Amino acid sequence: MSGPPDSAPARPPISGVSSRALREALSGEPRYRVDQLSRAVFREAATGFEEILTLPAGLRATLAQRFNYEALEAVRSETSSDGTRKILFRTTDGAAVETVQMPTERPGATTICLSSQAGCGMGCTFCATGAMGLTRNLTASEIVDQFLHFRRRSTERQTPDRAVFMGMGEPLANLREVERAVRTLVNPKAVGLSPRRVTVSTVGLSRGIHVMAGWGLPVSLAISLHAPDDDVRAQLVPVARRFPLGSLMEASRRYQQQARRRVTYEYTLLHGVNDSLSQAADLARLLRRQRCHVNLIPFNAYPGARYRPTPRDGIRAFRDALRERGLRATIRRTRGRDISGACGQLHAGALAGRARRTASANLRRDGG
Ligand code: SAH
Ligand code: SF4
């Protein structure tokens, strides 16, 4: 597994600087400057030190010499007919990362779908990100700055108030940086989201789920299950061979107890593979007596995909079979399919070359 680049960037991104290091950087200044700076970085619309007008000009210039305001550069923005927006970012070392902002049923609020890695090394056979392989883990700042990008640039009607780790990458394969990012997202002195409004979605790395249970934060956990038995699951999710359902269910139960949270099981329906009514019955048996919710995801196709989506009435029949057996089950509303921004369609690598040429034109058009 590759980590963040060895040579630290010359100017560290400000969202990742510890409060102690910030106090040091601001020594000689009145104490309230640290709070002023944090508020501007995490809560306000400034997109550079020069825009933080509560700070004196000299201090703004000094900070700009020492720190980067944003860890990521937005190089391309696309908006779907349903209001979903996708941004392609480039890291300082040139890795490509995609992030999606989705409208929600909550009036004026949006959800940000964060990436935890550039690419993904898990190789799930129905996922475009899996097909591109892993470039590298993202740092905590690169994760948090995806959220901040939207917070700084969204109108009141699009306020981001929820973060889901459902973009590129497997969050629990990048545990250290994801934990730091989650702590920053829920820290009232930083981004300040309610922990319940942060969801970590994992392919099912049982060991990582046990670690998460020890975080002591009631963040929401989603587990990508996709099959009620180990054989079919291993066809779809190769790492399932290392973490069979027995160990996964044990880790999930532990999380439910420790975090006192209902776990969500994600289940992407692939026609003729995992969508039969007898598999629905098996799934209901597997999840019996758990405090959980099943979220059925219609398969989103992408160029080269080897599966077909389950027809709409088949999806409903699968959901009803779960409900009849007492499970809470819903069908995920697909967002942003026309801009390849839906679940499993993120594939920044293929876009990166085109992005450099069209970036400025698109950003101007979308105001991103
Ligand atoms: N790596 C994590 C989080 C990112 S994927 C995980 O696997 O959970 C977010 C969700 O999208 C997962 O449930 C994943 O199984 C699902 N997904 C991946 N490819 C998909 C596709 N082509 N169509 C529909 N859902 C897909
Ligand atoms: Fe990675 Fe999740 Fe895609 Fe699997 S489904 S390849 S874990 S991003």
User: What is the pLDDT at residue 349?
Assistant: 58
Mutate to test the pocket of ligand 1, among 297, 300, 302, 340 (most ligand atoms within 8 A of CB): 297
E strand intervals along 193-345: 198-202, 220-224, 263-269, 292-298, 329-331
User: What is the pLDDT at residue 278?
Assistant: 98
User: What is the pLDDT at residue 348?
Assistant: 73
Q: Is 208 in the pocket of ligand 1 (CB under 6 A)?
A: no
* pLDDT by 10-residue block (mean), the chain, 368 residues: 52 94 93 95 96 96 96 95 95 96 92 98 96 96 98 92 97 98 97 97 98 97 98 98 98 96 97 98 96 97 94 98 98 89 77 40 36
User: What is the pLDDT at residue 190?
Assistant: 96
User: What is the pLDDT at residue 7?
Assistant: 53
Residue 184: closest CA among 217, 160, 157, 208 = 217
Cα separations in angstroms, 137 against 31, 115, 125, 357: 35, 10, 21, 26
- Antiparallel, parallel or unpaired: β 220-224 and 263-269: parallel
DSSP result, 112-132: EE--SEEE-SS--TT-HHHHH
Measured distance CA(82)–CA(74) in Å, rounded: 21
Measured distance CA(201)–CA(169) in Å, rounded: 10
| Alpha-carbon 359 to chain mean position | 23
State the Cα torsion 221-226-230-235 to the nearest 10°: -130
Amino acid identity of 327? L
Q: Is 164 in the pocket of ligand 1 (CB under 6 A)?
A: no
Structure tokens at 243: 């973490």
User: What is the pLDDT at residue 235?
Assistant: 98
DSSP result, 179-202: HHHHHHHH-TTTT---GGGEEEEE
Q: Which of 113, 120, 292, 343 is catalytic?
A: 343
Q: Which atom of ligand 1 is nearest to the CA of 345?
A: 22
Q: Whose CA is nearest to atom 8 of ligand 2?
A: 169
Measured distance CA(63)–CA(56) in Å, rounded: 11
The yes-or-no answer on residue 120 being catalytic is no
User: What is the pLDDT at residue 356?
Assistant: 38
Q: Which atom of ligand 2 is nearest to the CA of 169?
A: 8
Q: Which atom of ligand 1 is nearest to the CA of 301?
A: 22
Q: Is 127 in the pocket of ligand 1 (CB under 6 A)?
A: yes
Q: Whose CA is nearest to atom 5 of ligand 1?
A: 166
The full set of domains in the chain, from first to last, is 14-69 (1.10.150), 72-357 (3.20.20.70)
The yes-or-no answer on residue 343 being catalytic is yes
Measured distance CA(1)–CA(134) in Å, rounded: 8
User: What is the pLDDT at residue 342?
Assistant: 83
Q: Are the beta carbons of 135 and 119 closer than 8 angstroms? A: yes
Which ligand is located closest to the Cα atom of residue 171? 1
DSSP state of 49: G
Q: Say which residues have a Cβ less than 8 Å from residue 232's Cβ, sequence separation at least 6.
A: 226, 273, 274, 279
Which bin fits 123, alpha (ψ -120 to 50), beta or left (φ > 0)? left
Structure tokens at 159: 């306020």
What is the value of pTM for the model shown?
Answer: 0.93
Mutate to test the pocket of ligand 2, among 122, 200, 340 (most ligand atoms within 8 A of CB): 122
Residue 345: closest CA among 305, 295, 294, 306 = 305
Cα separations in angstroms, 284 against 243, 292, 293: 20, 11, 11
Structure tokens at 193: 């989201």
Residues in the chain, total: 368
Q: Which of 98, 177, 179, 266 is catalytic?
A: 98
Q: Is 299 in the pocket of ligand 1 (CB under 6 A)?
A: yes
Name residue 224's beta-bridge partners. Answer: 266
Q: Which atom of ligand 1 is nearest to the CA of 170?
A: 1
CA of 127 relative to ligand 1 center, distance in Å: 7
3-11 — which CB contacts under 8 Å span 24+ positions? 3/136, 3/137, 4/136, 4/137, 4/138, 4/139, 4/177, 5/93, 5/136, 9/68, 9/92, 11/65, 11/66, 11/67, 11/68
**Residue 78, SS3 per DSSP:** strand
State the Cα torsion 242-122-337-107 to the nearest 10°: 70
CA of 177 relative to ligand 1 center, distance in Å: 20
